[in-house]
Amino acid sequence: MKAVNFVTPEHEHEFEAAHGLPEALPSGERILWQGRPDAWRLACEALHIRAVLVYFGLLVGWRLVSMLYDGAGTSEVLMTLLRMLSLAALGTGLLAVMALLMARSTAYTVTNRRVIMRLGIVLSVTFNLPFARISHVGLRARGGVGGDIALTLAGPDRIAYLHLWPHVRAWQLRQPQPLLRALPDAQAVAQLLVTALQQAQLSTETSTNEAVQALPQRAVRQPTLTRPAHAA
């Protein structure tokens, strides 16, 4: 069974059985938590809107000093500043709108068996990450209780970095790590996810032990050592 699979609806969220879910959950599976990124945190951390504001601020300041040094008139200075501030507002406004759309179109779901990530503004894509293929959960706190949760995938399955962006850990290009990004309650969600993973692992081990004990005695074989043919 593939560890990672995805469903691509033709229209955004049209075929969702429930919010954030491409199909109804099977018997025995239940939702533990659902959430989405905080739009402002997403704008700052993924789209770097604060860095863009600083860049435009430096650019406007440099232009203002340059014009005053060259002896430009007050009206010329004001008109130039107005044009530059308009461009700055347009650029940062587009980033803010993009972050808002990304946040509103994203749904993270944690069940007692897997993590489900529904992503995409225009074309919605859903990634199913079974607990059996999640080897590590990493928390990066970002002030207070907010932060990001990185998921390390085990086995050969991988998701392309660009398919996940911006919901992916930065610079992990060879082994992309899905990221539950900009969560306002990241610490609580990380603890819930770790607990669910531990319970799922314990349940699997218990089921395996019960299955082994249920085997007929004759079916249980003790391991033996086979000597190489060339040995004396």
More confident residue, 69 or 15: 69
Quote the pLDDT of residue 6: 46
Q: CB-based contacts of 146: which residues, under 8 Å, 6+ apart?
A: 38, 41, 182, 183, 184, 185, 186
Of 151 and 146, the structure prediction assigns the larger pLDDT to 151
Average pLDDT score, the chain: 82
Same domain, 51 and 115: no
**Residue 218 in domain:** no
Residue 76: per-residue pLDDT = 87
Q: Is residue 88 part of a domain?
A: yes
Residue 119 and residue 92 share a domain = no
Amino acid sitting at position 175: Q
Residue 49 pLDDT class (50, 70, 90 cuts): very high
Q: Count of CB atoms within 10 A of residue 39's CB?
A: 19
Query: Where a domain ends, among 50, 84, 102?
Result: 102
pLDDT of residue 35: 95
Q: Which two structure tokens, joined as six digits, stand for 134?
A: 């999640």
Q: Check whether residue 199 and residue 117 sit in a common domain.
A: yes
Residue 178 maps to which CATH number?
2.30.29
| Pairing verdict, β 147-153 and 179-183 | antiparallel
Residue range 33-59: mean pLDDT, rounded: 94
Q: What is the pLDDT of residue 144?
A: 74
SS3 letters across 120-166: CCCCCEEEEEEHHHEEEEEEEECCCCCEEEEEEECCCCCCCHHHHCC
Percent of residues, the chain, with pLDDT higher than 90:
53
The parent domain of residue 184 ranges over 5-14+31-37+106-209
Residue 20 lies in a domain: no
Residue 140: φ, ψ to 5°:
-120, 105
Cβ atoms within 10 Å, residue 185: 15
Q: Of 13-17, 39-43, 137-141, 161-165, which gets the smallest average pLDDT?
A: 13-17
Collect all residues with Cβ–Cβ distance below 8 Å to 2 and sequence separation of at least 6.
157
The whole-number average pLDDT for the span 8-36 is 76
> Angle 74-105/49-69 helices, nearest 10 degrees?
170
Q: What is the pLDDT of residue 216?
A: 52
Using the 3D structure, point to which of 50, 79, 102 is the last residue of a domain: 102
The answer on 88 and 203 residing in a single domain is no
pTM of the prediction? 0.78
Residue 28 has pLDDT above 70, yes or no: yes
Domain count, the chain: 2
Q: What is the pLDDT of residue 2?
A: 43
Residue 23 covered by a domain = no
Q: Give the least confident one: 54-63, 135-144, 222-231.
A: 222-231
Does residue 205 form part of some domain? yes
Give me the pLDDT at residue 231, please: 39
Identify whether 57 is part of a domain: yes
Question: What is the predicted pLDDT for the residue at 186?
Answer: 92
Candidate from 37-41, 114-118, 165-169, 202-206 with smallest mean pLDDT? 202-206
In terms of pLDDT, which residue wins out, 2 or 205? 205
Listed residues 86, 102, 118: the one ending a domain: 102
What was the pLDDT predicted at 4?
54
The mean pLDDT value for 138-163 works out to: 87
